[in-house]
Amino acid sequence: MINNINSNSYSNLSKAVLTNRNNQAKRIQDKSAIKIDLEAVSKEQFAKLNKSQKEEVANLLKRIQGEIAKAEIIAVKIVKGETLNFEEKKFIKEKYPDLKQVAEESAKEVKELKHEIKNLKSEEQKQQVISKAINNIKLMNKKGILSEVQTKIKMSGIEEVEKFIKNIQTELKKAEMIAVKIVKGEILNSDEKNFIKEKYPDLKQLAKESEKEVKELKHEIKNLKSEEQKQQAISKAINNIKLMNKKGILSEAQTRIKMSGIEEVEKFIKNIQKELKKSEIIAIKMIKSEKLTPKEKNLINEKYPELRHEVEKYINKSNSLKEQLKLCKNEEERQQIVSKEIKNIENMSSKGIISESELKINMAAIEEAVIFIKDSKLEINKEERENDEGKLLKFIINPYFYVGTVSDNLSSIFIIIAIITIIYLFL
């Protein structure tokens, strides 16, 4: 680094040190390590200097080290995009233009790296990009392409990118929360609206699309008859989202936003299940002509205004079945009609024509018809029995009520005996 120093010439030694500093400032092609200390001067040469000369050389070297440290600080400010004052601009431009150039190149690389990382989908991809950049810098340093100072300047750019990643993670988390609110149909405040509109318009658009998809999926599921069909629709939507994430079409944040829509649909399914259960109970009570509670009446008026019309269909169906059963000659015919009706309903349920709730209500209508017929039969039997018992009582009180005098109709005696026997058999 400092060559051909005349052992008898202190001025030559000082000049060599100064030349070394100037060479350090201009050395762009030869980017060997900038390392200025007493080792730059051979021990033999330094030993030949007197005490004051040694002190002066040491002070000179120390001053140069300070200048390089100052230049490094200024260069790092350039990399970070900080504003330089007039003195800093002049200092690095005149004394260390090579470091200024490295800093400006690094600042450009930092911007490009930030842009690349912002568009990456996963955290793993971001870390891979950072690791690659760090390894490239270390390799250039190892090969002597970058000096120690230049390496530090470039590494300050990597630190800046890592800070950027942390910041966007925080911002992205905030944007994600806002996007989820959009998907759920919640109201945003002015700050949230401005934030996602200005910084993450892509997530805002995705959230709007997801909100629309959620509405469509809810509508589709509401019209499905069986729970199995509903779960199939949900599973299909989930698998589509996972596939897009796997292919890199959706980022981790975008995937979570879309999945929040699926969670919203799953909540919707649970709610309609509860609502269906309530309406099912009320419908069955109405079919059976049972008295509704005030709460149930309010539910019909507020939530299920169409339920009365729907139940009317089931009641008419039950009445129609009652009429058919009345016309049957025997129990076997009645059983055949009921069995046929049940099979038809079960068949419609298995084909997804009617829902599980509709199946239960239909079965309740059939049950009501069967119970009505049984009750009617019991009533008829009861009436016949009461008539027979009445006849027996009248006969005991006044047997001539039926037969007159024995002399008028002797054969009637046998009829009376037969009637008594039959009546007692039924008792």
**Are the C-beta atoms of residues 126 and 120 closer than 8 Å to each other?**
yes
> What pLDDT shows up at residue 406?
44
Going by pLDDT thresholds of 50, 70 and 90, the confidence category of residue 243 is very high
Going by pLDDT thresholds of 50, 70 and 90, the confidence category of residue 393 is very low
What percentage of the chain reaches a pLDDT higher than 90? 39
Measured between alpha carbons, how far is 148 from 102 in angstroms, rounded to an integer? Answer: 12
pLDDT beyond 50 at 401: no
Q: At what angle do helices 97-118 and 51-79 cross, to 10 degrees?
A: 30
> What pLDDT shows up at residue 41?
52
State both tokens at 411: 């054969």
Cite the beta strand spans of 179-253 per DSSP E. none
**Are the C-beta atoms of residues 120 and 102 closer than 8 Å to each other?**
no
> What pLDDT shows up at residue 96?
92
Lowest-pLDDT choice from 81-85, 98-102, 413-417:
413-417
Measured between alpha carbons, how far is 61 from 42 in angstroms, rounded to an integer? Answer: 14
Lowest-pLDDT choice from 94-103, 110-119, 390-399:
390-399
pLDDT beyond 90 at 351: no
Going by pLDDT thresholds of 50, 70 and 90, the confidence category of residue 388 is very low
Q: Which residues of 34-45 are buried (b: 16+ CB within 10 A; e: fewer)?
A: bebeeebbeeeb
pLDDT beyond 80 at 58: no
**Are the C-beta atoms of residues 289 and 159 closer than 8 Å to each other?**
no
Going by pLDDT thresholds of 50, 70 and 90, the confidence category of residue 46 is low
> What pLDDT shows up at residue 371?
84
Domain boundaries, the chain: 10-170, 174-269, 306-426
Mean pLDDT within 205-212: 96
Q: Taking Cα atoms as reference points, which of 111, 157, 152, 165 lies closest to residue 133?
A: 157
Which residue bears the tokens 């390799």? 139
Q: Give the tens place of pLDDT for each residue, 316-325.
A: 888 888 888 8
Q: Which long-range CB contacts under 8 A does 198-204 form with residues at least 24 apart?
A: 199/171, 199/175, 200/171, 200/172, 200/175, 203/175, 203/176, 203/178, 203/179, 203/253, 203/254, 203/257, 204/179
Q: The pTM is what?
A: 0.59
> What pLDDT shows up at residue 47?
66
Q: Give the tens place of pLDDT for each residue, 166-175.
A: 998 899 999 9
